[in-house]
Amino acid sequence: MGAGVVVDIDFRGIGEMKFVARLVALAPLFVLALFGQSSNPNNNPIQLALLRWYSANTVTQFSTCPAPQGLAFDGAHMWVANGGDNTVTKLRASDGATLGVFVVGMNPCSVAFDGANIWVANAGSNTLSELQATNGAVVGTYPAGPPGAPYAQGLAFDGANLWVGNSDGNLAPGSVSKIRANDGVLLGTFAVGTAPIGVAFDGANIWVANSWDGTVTKLASNGAVVGTYSVGGPSANAGGIAFDGTYIWVSNQTPSTATKLSASTGAIVGVFQLGPSTNTPFGVAFDGANIWIGYGQGSHLPAAGVYKL
């Protein structure tokens, strides 16, 4: 894959924000998650779970493998889940050089970094793969939820545990599983909304984007529901989710919008139009200054880009 054409389109005067749609010729980033700034495992685990990539000011295209989906940053490298060929690619963040391609489970969707290892949620095999961040060696493969739980998708690290969205639009309610990071043991599975596909950690609570409900569910660390909040109605079709230090941001697939929620109350602070309805936003990430939202476009989403808010 060669370098793509990048076009900045400046949308001004929409709501309270000025934002740039940066269109990049790459496949949709279904669950975009950038974690970490330092790979030192001696850091406070909560700090590790909340670290941001502060130098993300430009978008550059690099070659990976078919259908890149979730991403994570380990302090020096980007890890990309390649849903099309059941691998993850390790890229050097400084120049995009490919350092390795490693086999994981079927249809990897989401990636997270725990300070030492890379975790991958494999939707097709409903498993979690744990890889050494240093060399990509497989540490272990674990069930992503209870038996029969479908389609592991959203993935977040809370400093000690992985939280995995068990997504299936035919199951209501959906659920998230809490899995201990040091040994992959399932600690519990908790009901949320229908088709949970995005998961984020705000330093104290877990937030889950329920795609088919147009809602987000806020959970305490023990899995108890703190609240369920609308992102604009069922048609909003909530997708990716991220925490910016104060607010929760949710991408809404159907109307091509982003919803900004208060992390303390769940109240809607604003809903922002991202682009035409043919653009379907998915993953969301925060870089310390801006929100980034990846989107697909057209029939089966063959084209894609990234919005910067």
128-160 tens-digit pLDDT: 999 999 999 999 999 998 887 778 988 999 999
Domain boundaries, the chain: 7-308
b vs e for 191-229, b when ≥16 Cβ sit within 10 Å of the residue's Cβ? ebbbbbbbbbbbeebbbbbbbbbbbbbbbeeebeeeebb
Question: At residue 209, what is the residue type?
Answer: A
Tell me: pLDDT of 254 over 70: yes
At 234, the pLDDT band (50, 70, 90 cuts) reads low
How do residues 95-114 score in pLDDT, each as one tens digit?
888 999 999 999 998 889 99
- Does residue 36 register a pLDDT over 90? no
Averaged confidence pLDDT in the chain: 77
CATH class of the 7-308 domain in this structure: mainly beta
Per-residue model confidence (pLDDT) at position 295: 76
Mean pLDDT to the nearest integer, 36-44? 42
**Whether pLDDT at 13 is above 80:** no
Confidence of residue 227 (pLDDT cuts 50, 70, 90): very high
Distance CA 267, CA 229 (A): 7
Residue 24 CA to residue 16 CA, distance in Å, equals: 25
